Amino acid sequence: MRSFQALLASCSILAQAAHGLPLVERHTSHSDDLVVKTNQFAVQGAIFPNETNVRFFGNIPYAEPPVGNLRFRPPVSVRPRNETVNGTWFGPSCIQYNSGAKTVYSEYLTGFLLSPGQSTSEDCLTLNVWAPLGSKEGDNLPVMIWVHGGGFTSGGSASQYKYGDRIVRDQNVIVVAINYRLNIFGFPKAAALDGHNLNPGLLDQRKAVEWVYENIHAFGGDAGKMTLFGQSAGAMSVDAYTYAYPFDPLVRGFIAQSGTVGTSSYTYDPVGSNFTYVALQLGCNSTATKDEMFSCVQSKPATDIIRIYNKYNATLNNGLSLSFGPTADNEVIFSNYTDRQQRGLFAQLPTIYSSNDAEGSSLLAFTTDGPPGGQAAIDAFTKNFGTCSTANGALARMKLNVPVWRVRYFGQWPNLNPFEWLGAYHSADIPMIFGTSNLRGPDTELEKATSKYYQNAWIAFAKDPLKGLVEYGWPQYDPNKETLVKLGNGSAEAISVQGDLFDTGC
């Protein structure tokens, strides 16, 4: 498996193309394969670094730039254009929230963050496609659409552990990774919205899925064989999607890794106090109407808006928090998920819910000796965040005879675990599925085998959500039977244990 040092060297070549400079010839030698015509425009792609059989098409706009009067509003479908999009590398990631606080990710696990040198912009509603060399319309390949995590405040599709080339190379599928608006830009909580379309970041995701549904045939994919999968906030997004679009999901299967919405509590602030605070800090008139306040913030530079959020100090503001995340509008985020579960108001399609054995270790306050409270704090966070929420989601589907699988990951590896106390931390499963675990050092033999088995399971599901995992040997979830799938637990393959083994107290 290639090294990421070599990959980064190759990326510098592709970055030239992304800035309008010519590509090195070896990346464009398969010219017929590297220009794809979609319904709106043509896209110039490239051979992905250090791969010979994987094409990459990045920076593909699926919506109009969400700037000016479109800021904080639902995405607008991208208009056709008589030009070829330069898709030889990733476009800018969406504007990031960064308080400056140190985390285990910022200090030791940077492969989960945006790739080195990755730019950010408000004009970021793009997606990226990895496709086999030679795949063409009519090949009808399965499509896996990835939704990144980052707490709805940061993150993006240009992230090294999450590059889709190795899945495509080894599995003959198509991988799509999307960007969506984050923090205040994706979840503005403005009073002027009057309770509607409060989550444009989630509406971005739907717009991206629609674009893939309409255009993936041009890359050799089958719109009837799409799977939506994501991790953390991306998994919450996937789960939320099932409730938002119960009757027209466009995809045929869901995978939620370390995140659900089913047990979360979402509220709505009709006065938009957080948005108003930012508006006042930007110099908007304190006596303005809510609509005037909204227009004022729309007119301000995006860099000024995020700077206020980044530098906010709760201690200096009577302990009041300033946050921008999913809000109940009862359109795409609901205030009654338990009721919707009981009534079956979700897309009743095959689903995988997975969680890690130590979700809390990397999400709680960081010190090199572990989070305050030690293992007890890790276990408590993990139960609340990962265990119980996946249990509830899986149980709701099982009761309605929806095919559902539940997974718990335990893997710990020298090249992925800088501290023993991290265990199977939040995000630790990502490199195993994407086949990128050797980013910071060689894999052990068991690690390689576990990664291959793990990835094969996800692909079995993507290729046939109804029967793929059954044929792979995984039992559908039942809390009263040995149906909980344990991975990375001393064996490369799955071990099935009692379905509710970890659910005491849920």
442-449: list long-range contacts, CB under 8 Å, 24+ apart. 442/415, 443/1, 443/413, 443/415, 444/413, 444/414, 446/492, 447/411, 447/413, 447/415, 449/492
Give the dihedral sign, CA 151/154/156/161.
negative
The confidence score (pLDDT) of residue 23 equals 34
pLDDT tens digits, 49-92: 999 999 999 999 999 999 999 999 999 999 999 999 999 999 99
Give the dihedral sign, CA 264/265/270/272.
negative
Alpha-carbon gap, residue 249 to 402, rounded angstroms:
15
**What letter would DSSP give residue 385?**
I
Residue 65 and residue 126 in contact, taking contact as beta carbons nearer than 8 Å: no
H/E element holding 228?
strand 221-231
In angstroms, how far is the first alpha carbon of the chain from the final one? 41
Alpha-carbon gap, residue 197 to 402, rounded angstroms:
29
Alpha-carbon gap, residue 210 to 225, rounded angstroms:
13
The confidence score (pLDDT) of residue 9 equals 33
Nearest of 160, 133, 164 to residue 47 by alpha carbon: 133
The confidence score (pLDDT) of residue 262 equals 75
Q: Give the chain's radius of gyration (CA, Å).
A: 22
Strand 84-86 versus strand 35-37 pairing type: unpaired
The confidence score (pLDDT) of residue 466 equals 98
Which residue do the tokens 């509607």 mark?
A: 196
Alpha-carbon gap, residue 398 to 476, rounded angstroms:
8
Q: In what order do the strands lie in the sheet with 174-178?
A: 46-47, 54-61, 126-132, 174-178, 141-147, 221-231, 253-257, 351-356, 404-409, 482-487, 495-498
Mean local confidence (pLDDT), 143-155: 98
Q: How far is CA 386 from CA 51, 378, 379, 399, 455, in A?
A: 36, 11, 10, 20, 21
| Percent of the chain topping pLDDT 90 | 92
Across all residues in the chain, what is the average pLDDT?
93
Is 27 labeled as catalytic in the residue annotation? no
**Angle of the 290-299 helix axis to the 273-281 helix axis, nearest 10:** 50
Statement: residue 25 has pLDDT above 90: no
3-state helix, strand, coil in the chain (%, to 5): 35, 15, 45
Is 115 labeled as catalytic in the residue annotation? no
Residue 107 and residue 419 in contact, taking contact as beta carbons nearer than 8 Å: no
Statement: residue 32 has pLDDT above 80: no
H/E element holding 126?
strand 126-132
The confidence score (pLDDT) of residue 124 equals 98
pLDDT tens digits, 219-274: 999 999 999 999 999 999 999 999 999 999 999 999 999 999 976 678 889 999 99
Mean local confidence (pLDDT), 125-145: 97
pLDDT tens digits, 438-459: 999 999 999 999 999 999 999 9
The confidence score (pLDDT) of residue 4 equals 30
Name the active-site residue from 115, 154, 232, 355. Answer: 232
Give the dihedral sign, CA 370/376/379/380.
negative
**Entry field: residues in the chain:** 506
- Fill in the amino acid letter for 352: I
Alpha-carbon gap, residue 362 to 131, rounded angstroms:
33
Name the active-site residue from 10, 148, 154, 359. Answer: 359
The confidence score (pLDDT) of residue 31 equals 62
| Alpha-helix residue ranges (DSSP H) falling in 288-336 | 290-299, 302-310
The confidence score (pLDDT) of residue 265 equals 76
Which residue do the tokens 């919450």 mark?
A: 236
H/E element holding 5?
helix 4-18
Nearest of 72, 76, 149, 63 to residue 324 by alpha carbon: 72
Statement: residue 120 has pLDDT above 70: yes
Mean local confidence (pLDDT), 386-413: 97
The confidence score (pLDDT) of residue 263 equals 64
Predicted confidence band at 3 (pLDDT cuts at 50, 70, 90)? Answer: very low
Is 31 labeled as catalytic in the residue annotation? no
Other CB atoms closer than 10 Å to residue 506's CB: what's the count? 15
Name the active-site residue from 10, 426, 437, 451. Answer: 426
The confidence score (pLDDT) of residue 390 equals 95
